[in-house]
Structure formats: C-alpha cells, structure tokens
Amino acid sequence: MRREIPLILTGIVGITFFVQFFVPHSPMRELSETFSDWYSIISAFAIWLGGLNLMKISFEKVYKKDKDWFFAVTTIVSFFLILIVGLFFSGGRQYLEQGSGYDWLYRNIYSPLSATMFALLAFFVASASYRAFRARNAQATVLLLAAFIVMAGRTPFGDWITVFLPEGWRLSNLSNVIMNYFNVAGQRAIMIGIALGIVSTSLRIILGIERSHLGGE
C-alpha cells in the first residue's frame, strides 16, 4: 500500500504519456491532458501545506523568542494581509484587476521587492566576473576570453579597441562568430546530453528502478 501503489501509479501514468505520443487514438490525448490538469489542482491543495509550514515556523520563532522573532511577526502579518485581502476583499475572481486591494499590494510591495532582488544581479554579475578574472586554469581563461569578446563585441567599445583592423574583421564580428558557431555547438552538446539524461531518468522512474523520490516503507 505504501510503496507498491505509488510505484504502480507512477508506471501507469508515465506509460500513458509515452503511449499517447505515438497513438493519436482516443482516449490517449484526453487522458494525458487530464493528468496535466491534475497537477495544477493537486498543487493548489498542496500550497496550503507550504503556507502552514511557513506559519508554523514563524509562530515557533515568536513563541520561543528567537533572536529575530520580530521579523517572524512581519512574515506572519504580511502573509495573512495579502491572503485576506486577496480572498475576501478584492472582488473575488476579479482579484487581478487594477485597483483591487490585491493589485495594490502587488504593485507597491511585491513588485518593487521582486524587481530590486532581480536588479541585484547586476552587482552579482560584476563580482562573479571579477572572480572569473583571476582565471585559475586554461578552461577558465577560455571562458573569460569568450565572455569578454561577446560582451565587448555587443557594444561600440569592442569595435573601438579593434579599430586598427579592417572593417568587418573587428570584435563585433568575432563576437558574432563565437555566438553563432562555437556557442551553438556547445549548447547543442549540452542539450543532447540533457535529453539522454532525462530519457534515462524518466525510464528508471517509470520502471520503478529509481524510487528514492517516494521514500521508504
């Protein structure tokens, strides 16, 4: 019950998807579409487990007067704030519409937080580049060189420092060559490897050979 049925379910559902790819006949497509919908429904149930877990941890911090207990309070307050506003005070299904409370929270709190976090990448890219500059070996040097050529080649700076070369043979052209050929070849090798890895892992899962994701007895 605990282990066999999940293994059988995994196998049946996995094989259904495999078969529907080659067999257009009904009901294969309908079944696979239904299974895909199931994921969204199950995850809509499951997300409450996560929310509850977050609240449990936060409440524990407050209860135990953890060092940062105050920040656990802000997590609790903001979680319930958007939850209550989104579920009850944002016009139901029209919760995304402009002017709803949910939308206000999204635009003025969630969105700037998210955008700023994303923007921090500019600094992290800089520090990662700096680390790459201290190229430790031949491979890292090649990586750095390719990065430099492509980065410079995409700005006027690249052509400016290679102005002594004839037009058409400058850094922007070299950058194109790297992007369109060397880069594509490498990408392809990676993609093919990924395909093989996925086929192999999927097969092991469908056949129940790889079963660690299901836990034990």
Partner 1 sequence: MSSEFGIWLAAFFTIGIASFLYKDNPLYKFCESVFVGISAGYWAVALFWENLITKMFDGLGISYSLGLWPEKGALQDIFSGVWNWNILHVLAAILGIMMLMRLFPKIGWIARWPLSVIVGSTAGLWMITYFQSNFLSQLQKTVIPLFDIGRINELSEIGAVMAEQGRSIPLDNYFAAYLGNLVLIFGTLAGLVYFYFSKEHKGIFGRTAKVGIYFLMITFGASFGYTVMSRMSLLIGRLYFLFSTWLGFVN
Partner 2 sequence: MGKKVALGICIIIILPLLIWLVYLKPGPSSVSYPPYDLTAISTPFDTAGSVTLNWFCLEGDNDSAATFPNYNILRSQAPEGPFEGIGSVGFEYPRATDISRQYRDTAVVAGFSYYYKISCDLQGETIESNIFGPISPVMAAEAAKVEVPVDKSDIMVFPPTQLRVFDTPNDAGGSITLEWKVSASDAAKSLLFNGYDIYRSTSAEGPFEKVGETTGGVSDVDRQVKTLRDGKDIINGQEYYYYVAAKWDGQEANSEIAGPAVSRQQWFHTGRGVSLVLLGILIGSILYFINRAKAGKELFIRKIAGLEAVDEAVGRATEMGRAIFYVPGIQDMNNMQTIAGLTILGRVAKLTAEYETKLEVPVSRSLVMVAAREIVKEAYLNAGRPDYYNDDIVYYLTDDQFGYAAGVDGLVIRKKPATVFYQGAFFAESLILAETGNSIGAIQIAGTAMPAQLPFFVAACDYTLIGEELFAASAYLSREPKLLGSLKGQDLGGKLIFLSLALIFVIIATIGAFSQNAVISDTIQRMFNVN
Smallest distance from the beta carbon of 166 to partner 1, in angstroms?
Answer: 5
Q: Does 43 sit near partner 2 (CB under 8 A)? A: yes
Tokens of 66: 């953890």
Q: Does 209 sit near partner 1 (CB under 8 A)? A: no
Tokens of 143: 């990586």
Contact 208, 11 (CB under 8 A): yes
Q: Does 190 sit near partner 2 (CB under 8 A)? A: yes
- Could you tell me which of 93, 119, 94, 97 has the C-alpha nearest to residue 106? 97
Helices 28-63 and 4-22 pack at an angle, to 10 degrees, of 140
Instruction: Tell me, by CB under 8 A, how many residues bind partner 1.
Output: 135
Site for partner 2 in 119-178 (CB under 8 A): 120-121, 124-125, 127-129, 131-132, 143, 147
Indicate which single residue of 38, 63, 89, 133 sits in contact with partner 1 (rule: CB under 8 A).
38
Residue 131 contacts which entry, partner 1, partner 2, none (Cβ below 5-8 A, type-dependent): partner 2
User: What is the Cα–Cα distance from 88 to 47, expressed in whole angstroms?
Assistant: 18
User: What is the Cα–Cα distance from 103 to 96, expressed in whole angstroms?
Assistant: 6
Site for partner 2 in 12-41 (CB under 8 A): 21-26, 28-29, 39
Site for partner 2 in 50-89 (CB under 8 A): 50-51, 53-54, 57, 68
